[in-house]
Chain A
Amino acid sequence: MTNPTPAYVEGATVLLQERLTDDVYRLTVAATTGGGPGQFYMVHAWDREPLLARPISIHSVDEDTVSFLYQVRGRGTELLARLDEGGEVTLTGPLGHGFYTEELHGRVAIVTGGIGIAPVFCLASTLPPGDVTVIAGFKSTPYAVAELLTLGVDVQVATEDGCEGTRGFCTAIFDPTAFDTVVTCGPIPMMARVAQLCAEAVVPCQASLEAHMACGVGACLGCSFPTVSGNKRVCADGPVFDAAEVIWHA
């Protein structure tokens, strides 16, 4: 899959702002810039403060729209959540190297934690449905699951408070030996655990990393993550990496 050239788009119109849970929203904007699963946009929806744009993954995408699934964590995402339909956002993207879908064969597991589920809809849409199992962990009430079921993929849920699915971490209900390839996206400790399980089971695993970003395009070296072949830029060399290459506990 070739990555489309990124563009800088000012004033993309907000088409839809949906509140899915207490702090999780889905924002759909009019944009023809496209992108593939695992790629992201730098999103700016404020005037001057905060200063920097925020990296948000592509949740779903078509010719005319891009949508984002995001969790309010701080100032930037809080301002995103204040946007109404008709509001405007500034986007740079699509950016980064997404999932290596050509390497996802056989039985595919997608193991996510929390808002790490954001890029999964886009990814699952490109895979043959019968072979995909999403193992999704949440603190409490799950979100963005129903739409995955519409794709015909199998979804297994774990919640820390046990309010739905299995109580506990998603890594507890993930057995790598049942799969041919694995994808993971979520908090670093969780992905580290998935990577370890996959390494032990000798199953290839792709992980979508997170890092604080400034430029988002590969120019500032602000988002580096250590790998066996040196520091890599999460934004430009990733965000998706071969989990076996990542040095998880640097």
Chain B
Amino acid sequence: MATETIPMKAKDYKSTIPPTWCPGCGDYGVLNAVLKAFADLKIDINNTALVSGIGCSSRFPYFVKTYGMHTAHGRVLPVATGLKLARPDLEVIAFGGDGDGFSIGGGHVPHVVRKNTDLTYILMDNSIYGLTKGQCSPTSEQGMVTSTTPYGSPDNPVNPLAFCLTYGATYVAQGYSSKPKVVQELVTEAIKHRGFSFVNIISPCPTFNKINTFESYKDKVEPIPEDHDTTDLNAALAIALKAKEGKVPAGLLYQVKTPTLVDRLNEIRQKAGGSDDYDINRIIDAYRA
């Protein structure tokens, strides 16, 4: 029951609950890569919390030995934010799917990002709603036939990378479930990053998405050029916007250092003269007539 002292291997981070994903689901690759990143970083299971929304991908926390929360559809980021702000000592990592993050949860992303909230957000993007059995997701292509779009989806997809860059994310990367080594590296760096880090991981759903298959990605995934300047926002945006041409850039797009929300809140506490044993009578006395 004491904190582990011998270094844990990736598999040691696995909980006793076996993943419930379909055979061949891209999320297995993500899980393995993340566990390796945890081992790399010697993550302490007691000081780490994995928070997720609802979806196949959002089952992630159950399969890991850390603390965690499996919240409501779309609410992963604000719940994770509350936890992190109340407990800045913890490593808080958010997980979810494309629908969870960019459809019902899409209203939280801009704010959590612009505030540079000290979270890592790992999104498993399969361009479909897996758990509800195959409806159009916000990253589904225009024209895609799904159970709710029998005549093809009328909607242009969202671009998670470009959105997060525009929102002011300070770490933005993209990986692909079939390239676990890259995913592992990007996740490791994302966790090490101070502030908001976003890792979008293409993670196909062989059960319900017959368009964006592993096969289909073979020629689309392109490593980000070595000479890309990861501090150049415009260059990063240009790469992100390549999605329009059907390309899937993989690697680190952008990383900069700026004060985080935790930093800013600490400044406020300082300005207010914050202390753990502030005398409440000082406040009460101000209300005397």
A and B, one complex? Answer: no
